[in-house]
Structure 1
Amino acid sequence: MENVDLTKEEKIKKEIRRLTSLFTKLDAKTKKAVKSLIENAAFMAVTLQDLQDTINEKGVTEKYQNGANQHGIKKSSEVEIYNAMIKNYSSIIKQLTDLLPKADLGPPPKGNGLMEFIKSK
């Protein structure tokens, strides 16, 4: 990752700047409303990357022991946190992209070829 030498706070600020730059065309009221969404998205993006690095290093499972006779392997704590956070991050990013003017999103994707054929008949 290119941001290896940056602190977590610096990475978050960099991500806030990157995300904020995508919303320059929004009116001032909307920009103010999305500020906390952008800040949360930036925090999650950086934290998710940290979790990915840890998961890549340690793996997706960990050993556990509950008492003398109860032990085994379970999904790692990092994986559980990652799974919950990625859902929240995806939700925030969807909310943010829904606010972008449609012209900024590029041309609409082509429809299903079969449906296009049916509609043309």
Structure 2
Amino acid sequence: MAKPSKETRIKREQKRLDAIFVARSEKEQAALEPLIKRAAYMRVTLEDMEADLDENGFVEMFTQSDKVEPYERERPIARLYNTMNKNYQSIMKQLTEFVEKEPPKPDDGDGFDDFVNSRD
């Protein structure tokens, strides 16, 4: 069975995240939507990078010319993967903190107004 296209996988991930991170207002939705889109893209891209790294490894033999002995170096995709993974974790933390926040509670006061008004 063929692997779904990257765009299809991103849309699927975005729907999954939309179901998890539900906004309580339009203002919250406006703040969450770009983060969710970015997180969905990053997760799918990270999965693709992981497949490449599993197949080809994190290091490769590299040489500047035929006269120089090849040496082992980190593959550029490995560095990109690490950076993107860090950024993905940061976005997910933002989303989680944003949704876990309690909605502001109305201020019932400290009872002083009730005390003053009851003295009549």
Indicate whether the TM-score tops 0.5.
yes
Which residue of the partner structure matches residue 20 of structure 2? 22
Q: How many residues align?
A: 101
Q: Which runs of 5+ in 2 are unaligned?
A: 103-120
**2:115 aligned with 1:83:** no
What is the deviation of 1:55?
A: 0.5
CA contact (8 A) 2:22 2:99 kept: no
- One-letter code of the match for 2:32? V
What is the deviation of 1:66?
A: 1.3
Residue correspondence of structure 1 range 1-20 to structure 2 within 5 A: 5-20=3-18
Whole-angstrom CA distance in 2 between matches of 1:55 and 1:15: 21
Whole-angstrom CA distance in 2 between matches of 1:26 and 1:96: 13
Whole-angstrom CA distance in 1 between matches of 2:98 and 2:27: 12
Which residue of the partner structure matches residue 55 of structure 1? 53
Whole-angstrom CA distance in 1 between matches of 2:91 and 2:28: 15
Which residue of the partner structure matches residue 96 of structure 1? 95
What is the deviation of 1:39?
A: 0.6
Whole-angstrom CA distance in 2 between matches of 1:28 and 1:13: 21
Q: Which runs of 5+ in 1 are unaligned?
A: 104-121
TM score, norm. by length of structure 1? 0.76
- Percent pairwise identity: 35
Which of 26-35 and 46-55 deviates more?
26-35
Whole-angstrom CA distance in 1 between matches of 2:51 and 2:68: 32
Whole-angstrom CA distance in 1 between matches of 2:44 and 2:2: 11
Higher Cα Rg, which structure: 2
